[in-house]
Amino acid sequence: MVLLTHTSGIADYYDEEEVEDPEAFFVEIPWYQLAGPKDYLPLFINEPMKFEPGTRFSYSNGGYILLGIILEEITGVAYQRYVEENLFAPCGMTDSGFFAMNALPERTAYGYINTENGWTTNIYNLPIIGASDGGAFTTVDDLKRFWHSLFAYKILNKELLDIFLQPYQCVGSPDKHKYYGHGFWMYQKPEQELVYYLQGWDAGVSFQSQIILSQDVIVTILSNMTEGVWSIVQVIKSHGWYS
């Protein structure tokens, strides 16, 4: 559970408490050699623990890499293929997948970063293909299908979903009303319902997708720029919708 809740304290190859600019972040292994979860192990497996397990929250990409390796060991199937067959396909997410950066399918948007020489694509700033800590390609419509499938118990049964959606860890000061469960971010103002959301960013890409269950409202913002979604999120926040 500590891996799912980012409370494991395991060392991280991409520590979001330390990385200030994802466009300037690189690792010792060439990006084109990072094709599956096990490829990441040399980046952090011998590093000391960040803190004692269970004592605090720290978003850990390394922890989710380990979860991907565990899944591969249990199923005997590559992580990307397992997700495509057992999540994307049952949810009808026909435009989502783990695509190689050097062989993107038609209709796939490139990510862009702003360098001293102008705008360039992000194909040299990310692993060749996404793994268990992120990197899947998706669309607004497919994320709508994901949320609807999730709450129709097509992905997890009710018992498991209730566990995953329980606020587990308060993130930051309590007055920010921000929580993390077992894979989902949550926001709850006093006397208001929980808002569930997913978000992420990297060099040349950013996204946030939320669902307000009582209103059957889904808000998804996708961008092919590193900082692209956050100004839009701020506008929506100013109207008091969510975090």
Q: What tokens does 40 get?
A: 């990441």
- Which 3 state secondary structure label does DSSP give 58? coil
Kindly indicate the confidence band of residue 188, based on its pLDDT and cuts at 50, 70 and 90: confident
pLDDT tens per residue, range 147-163: 999 999 999 999 999 99
Q: Across residues 186-208, what is the average pLDDT?
A: 90
What amino acid is encoded at 216 in this protein?
Answer: D
Q: Band the pLDDT of 193: cuts 50, 70, 90.
A: confident
Q: Counting every residue, how long is the chain?
A: 243
Q: State the maximum Cα–Cα separation within the chain, in Å, rounded to a whole number.
A: 52
Give the per-residue pLDDT at 240. Answer: 63
C-alpha–C-alpha distance, residues 66 and 71, integer Å: 9
Q: For domain 22-238, give the fold.
A: Beta-lactamase (3.40.710)
The residue ranges of every structural domain in the chain are 22-238
| pTM for this predicted structure | 0.92
- Cα torsion 173, 177, 178, 183: sign: positive
The band of 190, judged by pLDDT with boundaries at 50, 70 and 90, is confident
pLDDT bucket at 242, cuts 50 / 70 / 90: low
Distance CA 206, CA 113 (A): 12
How far is the C-alpha of 66 from the C-alpha of 150, rounded, in Å? 24
Question: pLDDT of 47-89, one tens digit each?
Answer: 999 999 999 999 999 999 999 999 999 999 999 999 999 999 9
